[in-house]
Amino acid sequence: MSEIVIRGGTVIDGTGSEGFEADVRVKDGRIAEIGRGLTGGRELDASGHVVTPGFIDIHTHYDAQVFWDPALTPSCFHGVTTVVAGNCGFSVAPTRPEDHETIALTLEKVEDMNPATLAAGIPWDFETFPEYLASVERRGTVLNYAAYIGHTALRLFHMGDDAYEREATDDEVAAMAVSVQEAMAAGAAGLATSFAPTHIGIGGRPICSRLAAKSEFETLAMEVRKAGRGVIEATMGDGFAFDQIYDFQRRVGVPVTYTALLAMPGLWQHGSKVHAEQREQGTGVWPQISCRKITMQVKLEEPFPFDQTDAFAALYQGNREDRVAAYRDPAWRAKALEQLKTTALPTRWENFELAETTAHTGLIDRKLVDLAAERGESPLDTMIALSLDDDLKTRWRYIQANDDEEGIEHLLQQEGMALGLSDAGAHVGMLCDAPLPTDLLGNWVRERGVLPLETAVFKLTGEPASIFQFEDRGVVREGAWADLTVFDPMTVAPGPIRRVVDFPANGDRLTADQPSGIRHVLVNGVPIQVDGESHATEMDERPGVRPQQGAFR
């Protein structure tokens, strides 16, 4: 590999230390030298920019997309050089051929992935988790790629359809434990699960990990402990409340990260207080936080935001005609509206506005509560009426959570909380939060001054690398791997979000492919973006690696 010198920048090394002016020389994929006046075979100008470690995104769902989009767009455009997939327990392996459709339909329900896209894009040339990692490695990735083995996939693999009906037997738990052993030996990032009441699967049933006894998951987590490395990721729910997850972490003895500590009134204050108290006692728990308001676009064709109610969950057991009939029924609407008042995640009608429609274009960007008031009916009635006029294709934009700006500011400033929840690769038709790093640097660092730049870079690089023990990553240091991002702190920003049709089987999605301020990006010493122009999607060379025994080497 040729030498590259990044000249004239301010190095912010990912440790939280103050930046310093220096050139960085890269050779054979690693940082060879840091100093003044360096020369090399190729030079990249960094004048007026900062040179940092490549960003690490610990909460993605690229498990399927990695096969047809090795650049992992749009993360690659935002300075991200390493991702962790398989979050919430939704890995695509281990799997049996007869369960491929079940996995695809589960991903459709909980992560808004198109089953036709999954059928066309996943090669399914694997069954075990090690075989899945090997399949990814054969094809190559532009970014470094790690993945959890998922609890939902494990249960389905070892229990079949019974995974959705009951707790596992001792023999089934033992078989799952062996699969976790094999996954960790092959380089899995750890083990992930979900007990969240918001995660509703096929036919309106809870995802199968929610049926597991807590002792089952703890047994599997102990296999991660035996491996001597790895992380446990859990989406909060019954049995994993704020207090309980700290006790769980002390028993299993490996880092645990949970999703999500959202900036919502009452929630963030309590979660932050508990975490501060637990840190005084010593803890390896890392709540995941986000600087992004969780803003979704949804259609009543697939009423994801209302799945927690029995009325809406039951709709998935019928066909489209049954759904339309229910929407037209005043009695059903009254029942659904009443149930929405008691969900775990409150329905805040004031946060809805009309985003896309062909039937009522003059109402685009209007607030739902204003439209309902004009019509003299409930917001749900108005949403249904306007959607029926558009064959249920109307998209409604709504801020679901994490919109308490005081709470976001507070959480960003707390120690021991990990930036996560970009959900990159999931909910692709509804939201795009892959720009989390550029949003943090532009909005919360430059514009609001909530964090010093050095602290923000640490939270995007050195901190997640230390949680996952990614060897020689997340730091600008001689001898470390040359995952590097060069950006202009005065202009960095996430850019616009737009809808495109570029997935297999003509699948559409929201993307953010035009951030500002990102100048150069290198992965293992290979430039994937130079002078603001990304080459990630057209590269024959795929410099990303996956972990061997847990560390990117």
Confidence band (pLDDT; 50, 70, 90) for 275?
very high
Inter-helix orientation angle 129-139/170-186, to 10°: 30
pLDDT digits (tens, 9 = 90+) for 109-146: 888 899 999 999 999 999 999 999 999 999 999 999 99
pTM: 0.95
pLDDT digits (tens, 9 = 90+) for 172-211: 999 999 999 999 999 999 999 999 888 888 877 899 999 9
pLDDT for position 166: 95
Mean pLDDT to the nearest integer, 246-251: 95
Q: Does pLDDT of 239 surpass 80? A: no
Cα–Cα distance, 338 to 75 (Å, whole number): 40
- Mode of pairing for the β-strands spanning 42-45 and 30-35: unpaired
Q: Does pLDDT of 229 surpass 70? A: yes
Within a 10 A sphere around the Cβ of 345, how many other Cβ atoms?
Answer: 15
pLDDT digits (tens, 9 = 90+) for 429-479: 999 999 999 999 999 999 999 999 999 999 999 999 999 999 999 999 999
Query: Could you tell me the CA-to-CA distances from 346 to 337, 410, 428 in Å, in that order?
Result: 12, 22, 23
Element (H, E) at 546: none
Mean pLDDT is lowest, of 108-112, 266-270, 392-396, 547-551, for: 547-551
Mean pLDDT is lowest, of 352-361, 399-408, 541-550, for: 541-550
Q: Does pLDDT of 553 surpass 50? A: no
DSSP string computed for 384-430: HHHHHHTTT--EEEEEEE---HHHHHHHHTSTT-EE----BTSSTTT
Exposure on the CB side of residue 387, measured as CA atoms within 13 A: 25
Report the share of the chain in percent with pLDDT over 90.
87
pLDDT for position 551: 53
User: Bridge-partner residues for 27, per DSSP?
Assistant: 30
Domain boundaries, the chain: 54-293+402-468+502-514, 296-400
Confidence band (pLDDT; 50, 70, 90) for 28?
very high
- 505 or 243, which is more confident: 505
CATH code for the domain defined by 54-293+402-468+502-514: 3.20.20.140
pLDDT for position 461: 98
The whole-chain average pLDDT of the chain stands at 95
pLDDT digits (tens, 9 = 90+) for 280-328: 999 999 999 999 999 999 999 988 889 889 999 889 888 899 999 999 9
Confidence band (pLDDT; 50, 70, 90) for 548?
low
